[in-house]
């Protein structure tokens, strides 16, 4: 009798368990969009730092997350169309890289959550969020400290070049966030008794005229405000500054590694790691309106001693000691 009952139990389990397994809900696959004005990554995927950070949080590509990346390749006029593609794909969240991408994503949707990363300019001043503590819409993430950061960069430039009297500032006039940053740089320069030579550009075709203006009225240094347009033309900018022996200040370290004099700014990888945390919270049900936006917590000073030597500059030791990396 006991043997017959055991057999019946096994048979019943064999029949019931497949039905139970079939009835289990399938794990959802989230779709994470990435929109950036810059160049396409080698594999066409979002930055590795974003994907690795999400993987550490439990999002495994091919299992429960899929990525849709769109790159404007420096042509910001393509961003609205690319943002519309991500909306059409019904992604669960869009990670925007830079101010132009954030604005394009915001114009394309007011319902899909948008996470700014890396820092996309002053998000409050541009109207992308209501405040740091309560963003209030579908946008949150990282935003620049435009006032304090501009002042810090100008102070570092003054320390490196104590006799500099006129600074040329190159920025993208078509980008509201970059124009706001230019104005803060101008204020910081005035506080240091330095004259600003405004060199606004709107497209790649404007750079020859910009260079001509600096040749006609030579500045003591050039400050380049980073966005997709200036980043896409950074080789021209660095070559011009080097050929004309003009010290150059940048916001991102890649320009210094390519031959610029110095930079002070956030790390793209750090920003995308923070963005992953926002994405995780949103995919778990949090609303962007209630997720406080943040400033980057760490900024890095890079100095290129080779560039300094070519310019005949002897940078002060205290400045070099504070640098996170000195390129020999």
Tell me if 81 sits within 8 A of 17, measured CB to CB: no
306 and 227 belong to one structural domain: yes
Tell me if 248 sits within 8 A of 238, measured CB to CB: yes
Tell me if 119 sits within 8 A of 271, measured CB to CB: yes
Alpha helical stretches, state H, the chain:
2-23, 48-56, 79-88, 99-108, 146-160, 176-191, 207-216, 228-232, 234-243, 253-257, 268-283, 305-311, 317-322
Per the model's pLDDT, the better-predicted residue between 133 and 125 turns out to be 133
DSSP secondary-structure letter at 202? S
Give me the domain span that covers residue 43. 30-142+268-290
120 and 196 belong to one structural domain: no
64 and 101 belong to one structural domain: yes
103 and 187 belong to one structural domain: no
214 and 126 belong to one structural domain: no
Number of domains in the chain: 2
Phi and psi at residue 55, in whole multiples of 5°?
Answer: -60, -40
206's CB contacts (< 8 A; 6+ apart) are none
Whether the per-residue pLDDT at 25 is higher than 80: the answer is no
Per the model's pLDDT, the better-predicted residue between 17 and 119 turns out to be 119
Q: Is residue 277 part of a domain?
A: yes
**Confidence (pLDDT) at 26:** 62
Q: What's the CATH number where 120 sits?
A: 3.40.50.2300
pLDDT 10s digits, 235-290: 999 999 999 999 999 999 999 999 999 999 999 999 999 999 999 999 999 999 99
| CB count in 10 Å sphere of residue 103 | 24
278 and 260 belong to one structural domain: no
Return d(Cα 152, Cα 146) in angstroms, integer. 10
């Amino acid at each position: 009798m006991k043997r017959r009952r055991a057999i019946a139990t096994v048979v019943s389990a064999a029949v019931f368990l497949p039905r139970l397994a079939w009835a289990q809900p399938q794990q959802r696959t989230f779709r994470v969009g990435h929109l950036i004005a810059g160049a396409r990554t080698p594999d066409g995927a979002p930055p590795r730092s974003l994907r690795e950070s999400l993987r550490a949080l439990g999002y495994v590509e091919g299992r429960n997350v899929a990525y849709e990346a769109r790159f404007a390749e420096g042509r910001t006029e393509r961003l609205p169309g690319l943002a519309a593609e991500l909306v059409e794909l019904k992604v669960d969240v869009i990670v925007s890289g830079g101010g132009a991408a954030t604005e394009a994503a915001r114009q394309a949707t007011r319902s899909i959550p948008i996470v700014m990363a890396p820092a996309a300019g002053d998000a409050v001043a541009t109207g992308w969020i209501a405040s740091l503590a309560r963003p209030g819409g579908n946008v949150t993430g990282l935003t620049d400290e435009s006032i304090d950061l501009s002042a810090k960069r100008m102070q570092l430039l003054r320390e490196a070049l104590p006799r500099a009297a006129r600074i040329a500032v190159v920025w993208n006039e078509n980008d509201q966030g970059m124009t706001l940053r230019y104005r803060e740089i101008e204020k910081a320069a005035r506080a240091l008794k330095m004259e600003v030579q405004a060199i606004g550009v709107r497209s790649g075709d404007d750079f020859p005229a910009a260079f001509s203006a600096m040749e006609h009225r030579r500045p003591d240094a050039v400050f380049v405000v980073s966005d997709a347009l200036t980043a896409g033309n950074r080789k021209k900018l660095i070559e011009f500054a080097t050929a004309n022996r003009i010290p150059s200040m940048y916001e991102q370290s890649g320009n210094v590694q390519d031959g610029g004099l110095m930079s002070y700014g956030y790390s793209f990888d750090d920003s995308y790691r923070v963005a992953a945390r926002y994405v995780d919270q949103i995919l778990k049900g949090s609303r962007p309106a209630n997720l406080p936006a943040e400033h980057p917590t760490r900024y890095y000073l890079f100095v290129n001693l080779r560039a300094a030597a070519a310019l005949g500059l002897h940078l002060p030791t205290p400045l070099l000691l504070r640098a996170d990396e000195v390129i020999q």
